[in-house]
Each structure stands twice: as structure tokens, then as C-alpha cells.
A and B are shown apart, each in its own frame.
Chain A
């Protein structure tokens, strides 16, 4: 009973301080909304309008028809015609264009000859997205009878089941939820405790009858609530601005998020037991955040990563959470069907909590 009232005293104090700290309070609302606007509008993996120059050395009827078709794809935006392939390379090097198209003088003959490529593409390989897109161009049919060729190449039709219009926000936002919650939950808890250490409050607190567990749990409760508020914000903005579907159950999503928030809070607690200053706590948060963005399947497809990166990704809570959110929100999967991810989050929380409890002693040395 005393234990519970001490825990509540800590929580009450934490809330009181939070409400008084305008900047932090602003970040609770600001971080998710701004990040969503930024990522939702800015990230577009559906690449269009690559700046392109063409060196048409054939200048035949067929080559002009090819250039017109190239324009029609909208993948490239032909900004210039140059005379020699060397000029193309020059433009590419200084970054004026991303793609250079060389149409050899014997283009017409090459088109019929299956042994020799009809067109050369010079691509800015320093940007992986651009080279990927350019590879798509390779599949463009070129023939005297383009219609016949088209029929042939459409043997396999790809239909993106859960995102038929291939809108990027639909793919991005369920992952972005994970990244935002990772950032805010971890940072807030770690900083909340380290700040008290820095200000000397901890020396007072650990000299009171409050136990480590009461102190840690009491301090993180407000952040669980904040995490849930942020989640609601993300869902509302996602729905209103980006029409991200919510096909599964909202309750399932909240339960999954609860498990994920717990994992991040315990990681924040671990950081708080290691970091001596708020600055160190922030650095450690970003040390976790970077792989959370890059190795979780948020940016790059998980299956495409080398095994080592996949193992690392599996350790991160956000990897499992993104599978849960994509499953629930986009594919209408039930939480129960996705239980392995839940178990992974549970194990992570348990381990991190144990680590934090072992490291957080009620002593200064």
C-alpha cells in the first residue's frame, strides 16, 4: 500500500514537471506531427522525372519513336540533347543529369539483332534508388512493332495487393510510427532519469524509502500515456492527410503498441543507468535510432539485407513492431496471428528491464 502510494507520488511529480516544461510538452505533439508531414510528403520511392540527356547518333524514325516512348514513361525528364557520349559523361559527372541515353548510329540494325544491345544507359550509380529505377527502363520493349513486344513482356503482372495504387505514405507511415515512438519513448525516459541525476535530485530520491522499482515504474508511467497519445496523433494525421488505411482492429494495434512502448521504455531505462549526462543519453538514443531506421525494414526491404544485418535487425524492437503495424493496419491481420513478433517484444522488454534493475542501484557508486 505504501509502495503504491510512493509510486503514485513519483508519477504525480513527473506529470507536474512535464506539464510545466513547455518545450518537452511541445515535442510530445510536435515530433510526431512534423515527422509525419516531412516523411509523408517528402519520401517518395515511386521515382519520376529523373533529369536525363540523350545523345541520338542514329536520328532515325525508329530512334525518335523510342525517345517519345521514353518520355511517356514519365520516369525520365529529357532536359537536353547532346552530340557525343563523352558529353553525356561530362554532364553526369557534374551532376546535371542522373541518366544519359546513348542511341548508337546503327540503332535500327541493333534492334533486330538480339545479340547486341540497342541502347546504352549511363546511370548515376552513386544514388541507389536511381540505378534501381534505371534498371526498370531496361525492360522497355523496343521493336518495330512495339505493340507486339508489349504483349510479350507482360507475361507476369504484378499487383501490389494491399497498396494497389503504390502510394508511398501507405508503406511509410506504419513504419514511421515505430521510428517516432522509438525516438520519443527512449529519449524521454532516458533523459527524465539522467536529468535528475545531473541536477542532484537523485541523491535526494535514493535517500528516501522509495525503492528502485517504484522509482523506475513511477517515472515511466506518464510516458506510456504519452506514447499512446502520440500513437493516436499519428493515426489521425495518417488518416486525414495520407488516407492510410486501418484495415485491422484498432484495439490490436494499441495492444501491439503497448508491448512496443514497454520495450522502448525499458531500453530508455537501460540507457539512463549508463549515461552520466543528458548529452550522453541523447547520443546513445541516436546510436539505437540509426539502425532502427536503416535495419528494421522501414527504409530497405528486410529480405534484401545481408544475414548479419538481418540478425541485427531482429534484435531491434522496431523491426517487430513494423511487422505488426503493417500486418494489422494494411493486411488486416489479427494480433494473435502475429504472435511471434509479440513474443520477441516481450523477451526484449524482460531482458532490458532485468538489465536496468540490476544496474540501477540505490547508491551513488
Chain B
């Protein structure tokens, strides 16, 4: 049995480990663009903010491929999939046969349009290589511009602030992380960032970058000139599925998978940021491009590929962020259009440092936001994920002493 995995991110890694666990001898080939040992992608933001050294990024040994008897084909992208002949085509023209294929190509930063994007010190934040270049560019940088207030834009701005730079963030909604949290939490996060020196421009985009080889100014569409020595673009990600024949393998935003993470073609699976599964809280197709989802999906896909049928229950949006003095935890459908059958329960009183919000649909919890005191967030996540009918009054779930023991009655 020939297993081929496209992508050596966490989804590809956990898939290969699952296959090897069930089958000690099967052929496993991993095709990967990045040659660095398997590493923690989220942790690059900790390297940017200076709290972790670059050499702590690897999460598996440098002998990972040898230890698991994997044939690595690293340093180039897969260019296509020949579904009929069951082959993967590489950039250099090589063709790799497969019996079972996993598409775990992850996601790429959503590109942005502006003049002068080829100037130096304008970056995306996705790979260890990006962050290496950024930490080099930090020397001598005083002012930064960050495009986008989503997860990556926020992390970039936070990291640069912690490095002591003067940071201007350009966002489209009134507060950062608007896809992750509701307006109240969003404004608490914004306040916390602003208290630490962040400057925010709402509803503007960059028209052009100027500089003499290296970026010096970002010019917005309203004509404002923002001097800067470093720019990070964090306008979200797009599943890396350009190389996938869409006439053969069904894809929407991501590659569509069924409840065993198989694509529309038998024997071809997808997992991680590239896969579009079903969101448990929203009850519809969704790409949840997140580390724990990618790790879990990779494992389930690997088990299925190796012949043990394991169902995948669906994915969930979930995030934990530390924002200076605020710990923010958000899970599920945290900010649905209200009154469409949803009920929202909030903590009372305006406290700058504490907030709770639960979203319920009928007797199920579908979303939650917590600011500070986030230790019980996993209990709420499990209630959402398992679609557990909530018998306790929802107010109990947001009370300070809430713990797992209270669910047992």
C-alpha cells in the first residue's frame, strides 16, 4: 500500500504517525514545500514577539522522517494530481504513484493588492522563514504597519508592540478579531491594545508602499502617509488548493470532505487548513483553519487511510489569545445574528477585566466568549462539541465557581 501525503504541516505529520501506528511497513511518502523539520506554525508569533527563540520551533525530532521510515520529498510543491492514473505531479515533473493520498497542503496568506509590494521589509506571517526575516528586519525598525485585524494581523500587531515598536493597525471592522469575538469582547481587546500603544485606523486600506528599495511609507486610500520600517500583511488565509483538479475533486473554499475526511474521490483524503468539513456549532460546511483541528483531522485521516474506519464528528472554531492583561477564549458560533433562534446570556455589569457570553440554540450551547478566568473554557467547548443538552440554568455556566462537577446532576 502506497500512502502519499502532500504537506508536512501538523495535519500531514499526525496523519503519517497514525498510519505508521497501524501499519509498520506501508510505504509513506511526504511531499513538502518547507524543508525545516516539522514545527509549530502558531509559535512563530511567539518568536516574533521575542518570548521564544527560533530554535524552539521544531515539535518533532530532526530524524522524524527516518524514525517513521517516511520518504521525504521536500523543497518543492506538488503541481497537480492525476486522479485517473493515481499520481501526484511535482514541480520538477516527477510523478509519484499513490494508492491512498492525503491532501494536507494547509493554507497560504491571502494576498493583498497595492503598489510597491516588492519593497523590502513587507512580509506575510505564515512560515518560520517569514519570521526569521522579520526578526532580522526588527533591528533598526521603530514604526510598523499591520494590515488586517484577524487572527494573524492581531498576533503580528501584538508581537511588534511587545517588541516596543510603534504599531498602526489597519482594520475593516470597528475592532480586531471580529470573526472570532462579539463587539463587547472586541472592544475590550481593542482598549487593551490601545492602552499599550496600538494605533488603529478603521475602514482604510493601503493603496501603495513607497521607499527606496526598502519600505518607508504606507499610503492609505484616504491619502494618509504612514511612515514605517516594517509591514506585516495579515489579511487571513486561503486554503492552498490551486493544484487540485476541481473538475475531479470537489472543492468550495476548501477541499470538501465527508465524515471520514475522504474527498469526493475514494482513497483521496484531505485534512487541516485545506479541508472544508462541517462546523458543529454552525451546522454547515466551514473551513476551521486551526492547529488543534488540523492535528485531530490529520490523525483521523491517517487512521482511515490505514484501514481503520474512524468517523470525524466535525470541526469547531476555537481560539485562545493572551492580550497583555486579558486572556481571551472564544469557541463555536460566538456572534451569530441574534434573534435567529439564538439566545445570548451575558455576564452582568461592565468590568474591564471580566466578561462572559454564551450563545444557546434551543437547549444546546453553540458558542462562548470568556475574558479572563478561562480555565473552564474546555468544559464549555466539550458541551458544544458533544451537542450536550444543557440542563443547568445557563447562568450557572458563567458563574465564577462553575466546574465540571456541576454537570453530573
**Do chains A and B stick together as partners?**
no
Q: A residues near B, CB below 8 A?
A: none
